[in-house]
Amino acid sequence: MLSRTADNLYWLSRYVERADCLARILDVSQRLAYTPVTYGGSTNEWGSAVLTAGVADLFTERYGPLEEAKEEQVVSFLAFEAENPSSIRNCFEVARTNARSVRTALTSEMWEVINTAWIELRNFPNRALTRDELSRFLAFVKETSLRFDGATFRTMLRNDAYWFSRCGAQLERSDNTARILDVKYHVLLPEKEHVGGPLDYFQWASILRSVSALTAFHWVYRDSVKPWLVADLLILNRQMPRSLAACYDNLARNLDDIASAYGRQGPSQRLARSMLARLTNRNIEDIFQTGLHEFISGFISDNNKLGAEIKEQYLT
Amino acid sequence: MRQAFDEMSSTDGHVRPAYETLKQWLGGVPQDVLNHRRKEAEYIFRRIGITFAVYGEQNAQERLIPFDIVPRILTKDEWGRLSTGLEQRVKALNMYIRDVYSKREILKAGIVPEDLVYKNPAFRPEMNGQRVPHDLYVHIAGIDIVRTDPDTFYVLEDNARTPSGVSYMLENREIMLRLFPELFSMHKVAPVENYADDLLATLRSLSPQSGHEPNVVILTPGIYNSAYYEHSFLADKLGVDLVEGRDLFVKDGIVFMRTTEGPKRVDVIYRRLDDDFLDPLAFRPDSVLGVPGLMSAYQAGNVTLTNAVGTGVADDKAVYSYMPDIIRFYLGEEPLLPNVPTWRCREADHLKYVLEHLPELVVKEVHGSGGYGMLVGPTADKAQIEKFREKLIADPANFIAQPTLALSTCPTLVEKGIAPRHVDLRPFILSGSDKVRIVPGGLTRVAMKEGSLVVNSSQGGGTKDTWVLDA
């Protein structure tokens, strides 16, 4: 297939996934922000939302320091602002532009999800939203990504177009999970004071919620929320679709599918396999021992490197 | 202007046989049901994204072309006459272009004035002496037809560069089948769905190399082009890649596309890009839409471009006025489809006549298209006419004039119900190395405003499904 087509499919899925992640981040921040101060502590949730979204520099440039970030600013910046290239609105704009460029590679069902979302986006007012409106908006974003994934899964031929599209989604997803962990890793560290207090519970639960995994947690561990189990679930547990291990399971497989269809392995297959190995046959204690933060930042940088390898090998 | 000819009913209320069933059906369906179906059609068009862009309008970047749910009907006989005439016309067009770029016999014979060729901005000296596969230049032609009475179909315009609209022909039929299946059981309508197969067969027949299945691609200027939807639609129907200039490169005189598996050779390019933008090394150096070196690969005979480079020399409105003579010259036949009588303002006596009769005439720019830059005398006010008169006097060679034709009307669903609106027809003629293919019908465009004669989509015109009855 055309390299540009593969590139568009890959980024189309990435942007849909990114919009979904942003919606979750906003959802969780909103919840935390309305939690009683005694439980929520003094940390500024809105600031860490910006940090998790990976747009801190742009935000501070526009609104000043993160510590003083206000809800309206963050919601508007992450959801709607044109100046933020990764705002949800921009994600949908870019997704649709990409979808238009590769219409022939999409099924009509996939196109309709993207096009309809783009049309509906215009129905949301271009001003500060009320809390109800914001909830509706976030639900709409999450539903769009569900429908898009569903359409992809149900209607696309299992060929290179499908695999590139899935690679984009998985790479974006693992990046997002890793960034949530990167911003919040300190609340998972055992040496922290007051471990087990209500503050921690809310923090841990909010991490789980930001990847829609609070219920899953209880099913998997049949235990109360503990920081090392949260880390285990999001990093190593393959049952959990947003864990780094599950994402790399899929990435390695999709890249292998591409390689076997084309009859040639390359650097991106090798890197994905070595990253998967790093997430396999390990336990979370190891990771804590060698340093959770180091592990996460190493992962984020290697994940970006895989993106660059895929681009070099196939998309240009 | 006299009463226009209506294709369904004559002035005494008599209904033409081809429309009897439809008329009866229309009479039995309540207006709100029709309105509802029309909205449904619009919703489907919007949802699947069948839109077009209007240049120069900021906020209306993507608009729908209004779709009228009342089909336009042609009888088998009418279509038979039309299609033979179209085939004749396109054959002559191809022979004319070949001649212009080789022996120029028609110029030597004094039939077409030399400056119409040499001073024509669409004339490409690069094509002199260049052989193209099977001597075919216009592989895909769109010939605009208007009708003024039961027996007269005029050719209004030849489109020999990159005619568009065929996707609407196909989608209109698709939508009609979805919305009004019952109508199709009452009529024997000739199918148009095979257009994609015909187009692909035509393109493949033009491949410069034999021995392997040719790699055919469609070249688009990109998503901001007004006809982008059509480009992607066709690529999808044909099952070929839709490429942009940046997807292609030329190495050692061969055109390749960049794929996820490395470079792949390209044999036939159905380009929806004007000559000017094809190759920055040969034409406009500032073009970022084209492919550097494409022209040299083309001249080396390693790739086929459809339509060929330089076909614009045959489809401006000044050349149009010579078409009957062109047909006679190359084919030794009388034209089966007449031209609309045309005054060439470049000729002093014609200009004099035109200036004296501006309020009755339609005056068009020789190289204009899309309904831009024209004067429709009968509907223009004094000031507009006087302003146009100045333009005309300043550069008469740039204009032609035609009488205001009473274009035929067809029943159309408007606010107040079913009313007659003016229509034209654009059939698409495919010329391959093996044969000429024309799907029955074409795109009917309709002026949605009462009395308006301008059917161009850029001017608010709509479209209809066109039915050729098989029996």
> Which pair of tokens denotes residue A156?
């696309």
CA distances from B148 to A109, B5, B154, B296, B421 (A): 44, 6, 8, 46, 13
Which chain B residues touch A97 with a CB distance below 8 Å? 223
A-side interface with B, Cβ within 8 Å?
1-6, 97, 100-101, 103-104, 108, 111-112, 115-116, 119, 160, 164, 258, 262, 314-316
Whether B305 contacts B271, CB under 8 Å: yes
Check the CA dihedral B31-B36-B39-B44 and report its sign.
negative
Q: In what order do the strands lie in the sheet with B254-259?
A: B248-251, B254-259, B262-265
* Residue B297: closest CA among B284, B311, B278, B277: B278
Provide the pLDDT confidence category of residue B370 given band limits of 50, 70 and 90.
Answer: low
Residues B328, B332, B337, B338, CA torsion sign: positive
Region B121-142 average pLDDT: 94
Task: Please answer yes or no on whether B49 and A103 come within 8 Å at the CB atom.
Answer: yes
Hey, which residues 115-174 in chain B have their CB within 8 Å of chain A? none
Round to whole Å and give the CA distance between B3 and B11.
9
C-beta atoms of A164 and B235 within 8 A? no
Q: Is the pLDDT of residue A36 over 70?
A: no
Q: List own/partner pairs for B178-185 with CB under 8 A and 24 or more apart.
A: B178/B44, B179/B37, B179/B40, B179/B41, B179/B69, B180/B37, B180/B69, B183/B22, B183/B25, B183/B71
Contacts for B149 with CB less than 8 Å, ≥ 6 apart: B5, B408
Query: What tokens does B339 get?
Result: 């031209």
* pLDDT surpassing 90 at residue B47: no
**Closest by Cβ to A100, choosing from B223, B260, B261:** B223
Confidence tier at A174 by pLDDT (50, 70, 90): very high
Q: Does B261 touch chain A (CB under 8 A)?
A: yes
Rounded to an integer, the average pLDDT of B317-330 is 95
What's the confidence (pLDDT) of residue A43?
59
Nearest CA to A164 among A237, A274, A261? A261
Per the CB < 8 Å rule, is B223 touching A115? no
- The helix or strand, by DSSP H or E, that contains position B219, with its residue range, turns out to be strand B216-219
Q: CA of B401, closest CA in chain A: separation in Å?
A: 41
State yes or no: pLDDT of B170 exceeds 70. Answer: yes
pLDDT of amino acid A197 = 58
Q: Is the pLDDT of residue A194 over 60?
A: no
In order, the DSSP letters of chain A are: -BHHHHHHHHHHHHHHHHHHHHHHHHHHHHHHHTS-HHHH-S--HHHHHHHHHT-HHHHHHHH--GGG--HHHHHIIIII-TTSTTSHHHHHHHHHHHHHHTGGGS-HHHHHHHHHHHHHHTTS-SSPPPHHHHHHHHHHHHHHHHHHHHHHHHHS-SSHHHHHHHHHHHHHHHHHHHHHHHHHHHHH-TTSTTTTSHHHHHHHHHHHHHTT-HHHHHHHH-S---HHHHHHHHHT-TTSTTSHHHHHHHHHHHHHHHHHHHT---HHHHHHHHHHHHTSS--HHHHHHH-HHHHHHHHHHHHHHHHHHHIIIII-
Among chain B residues, the shortest Cα distance to A107 is held by B236
What's the gap in Å between the CA of B233 and the closest CA on chain A?
A: 7
- Decide if B59 touches A, using CB distance below 8 A: no
Query: Can you tell me the distance from the alpha carbon of B428 to that of B195, in angstroms, rounded to the nearest whole number?
Result: 9
Mark yes or no for CB contact A112/B241 under 8 Å: no
How would DSSP label each residue in B65-99? PPEEEEEEEE-HHHHHHHHHHHHHHHHHHHHHHHH
Closest chain B residue by Cα to residue A164: B260
CA distance A83 to chain B (A): 19
- Could you tell me the residue ranges of all domains in chain A? 1-156, 158-316
Residues B313, B126 contacting (CB under 8 angstroms): no
Distance CA A213, CA A233 (A): 9
Closest-CA distance, A231 to chain B, in angstroms, reads 37
pLDDT higher than 80, residue A35: no
User: What average pLDDT is seen over chain A?
Assistant: 90
pLDDT at A69 over 80: yes
CB B330 within 8 A of CB B146: no
Give CA–CA dist A196/A185, Å, rounded.
16
Q: Lowest-pLDDT range, B260-269, B327-336, B398-407?
A: B398-407
Distance from CA of B232 to the nearest CA of A (A): 6
* Residue whose C-alpha is closest to residue A262's, from A216, A313, A209: A313
How would you classify residue B262: left for phi > 0, otherwise alpha for psi between -120 and 50, otherwise beta? left
Question: Looking at residue B369, what is its pLDDT?
Answer: 65
Contact (CB<8Å) B260/A160: yes
- The alpha carbon of residue A165 is apart from the nearest alpha carbon of chain B, in Å, by 13
- State residue B451's pLDDT score: 83
d(CA B309, CA B313): 10
Averaged confidence pLDDT in chain B: 91
- Give contacts of A4 with chain B, Cβ < 8 Å: 244, 246-247, 258
- Closest Cα in chain B, distance from residue A115 (Å): 7
* Orientation of helix A108-121 relative to helix A131-155, angle to 10°: 170
Residue whose tokens read 């599950």: A246
d(CA B376, CA B390): 15
Q: Do B260 and A103 touch (CB under 8 A)?
A: no
| B258–chain A Cβ distance below 8 A for any pair | yes
Chain B residue numbers with beta carbons less than 8 Å from the beta carbon of A315 are 260
Q: What SS3 class is residue B231? A: helix
Chain B residues whose beta carbon lies within 8 Å of the beta carbon of residue A316:
258
Strands (E), B233-386: 241-243, 248-251, 254-259, 262-265, 268-271, 304-306, 343-344, 361-365, 375-376
The closest alpha carbon to B61, from A107, A122, A95, A89, belongs to A122
- Dmax (CA) of chain B: 69
Of the ranges A76-80, B107-111, B314-318, B430-434, which one carries the lowest mean pLDDT score?
B314-318
Verify whether the Cβ–Cβ distance B260 to A112 is below 8 Å: no
From B47, B236, B261, residue closest to A104, measured CB to CB = B236
Q: What is the model's pLDDT at position A39?
A: 54
Structure tokens at A121: 């986006």
Instruction: Spell out which residues of chain A touch residue B224, defining contact as CB-CB under 8 Å.
Output: none
Q: Do A112 and B47 touch (CB under 8 A)?
A: yes
How close A246 comes to chain B (CA, Å)? 26
Question: Which is it for the CA torsion A299, A300, A302, A307, positive or negative?
Answer: positive
pLDDT band at A42 (very low <50, low <70, confident <90, very high): very low
The nearest CA of chain A is from the CA of B258 a distance in Å of 6
Tell me, yes or no, if B417 comes closer than 8 A to chain A by beta carbon: no
Q: Does B178 touch chain A (CB under 8 A)?
A: no
Q: Which of B174, B246, B260 to mutate to test the interface with A (most CBs of A within 10 A)?
A: B260
Helical residues (DSSP H) of B49-165, grouped into ranges: 76-100, 105-108, 114-118
For A111, the closest of B49, B244, B260 (CB atoms) is: B49
Residue B456 above 70 pLDDT?
yes
User: Looking at A36-45, A282-291, B219-228, which range is the least confident one?
Assistant: A36-45
Interface membership of B235 toward A (CB under 8 Å) = yes
Buried b (16+ CB within 10 A) or exposed e, B102-138: eeeebbeeeebeeebbeebebbbebbeeeebbeebbb
Q: Identify whether the C-beta of residue A275 lies closer than 8 Å to the C-beta of residue A302.
A: yes
Task: Specify the CATH class of B341-404 in words.
Answer: alpha beta
Overall average pLDDT of the A153-180 stretch: 96
- List % helix, strand, coil for chain B (3-state, nearest 5): 35, 25, 40
DSSP B308: P
Q: Do A3 and B241 touch (CB under 8 A)?
A: no
- The owner of tokens 């190493």 is A298
Q: Which residues contact B423 (CB under 8 A, 6 or more apart)?
A: B7, B72, B147, B407, B408, B409, B410, B444, B445, B446, B447, B455, B464
Q: Cβ–Cβ of A100/B258 closer than 8 Å? A: no
Lowest mean pLDDT across A102-116, B41-55, B168-182: B41-55
Q: For the residues A301-313, what does the mean pLDDT come to?
A: 97
pLDDT in tens, B132-151: 988 999 999 999 999 999 99
pLDDT category, B209, cuts 50, 70, 90? confident
**What distance in Å separates the CA atoms of residue B170 and residue B175, rounded to the nearest whole number?**
9
Q: What is the band of B57 on the pLDDT scale with cuts at 50, 70, 90?
A: very low
Say which residue the tokens 């059981």 belong to.
B185
**Gap between the Cα atoms of B100 and B105, Å rounded:** 8
**Domain residue ranges in chain B:** 341-404
Q: Quick one: pLDDT at residue B92?
A: 97
pLDDT at B16: 92
* Alpha-carbon span A80 to A84, nearest angstrom: 8
| pLDDT of B278 over the 60 cut | yes
DSSP bridge partners of B68: B464
Give the residue-averaged pLDDT of A117-136: 86
Instruction: Find the closest chain B residue to A265 by CA distance.
Output: B261
Q: ∠ CA B86-B276-B227 to the nearest 5 degrees?
A: 60
Task: Provide mean pLDDT across the span B386-409.
Answer: 92
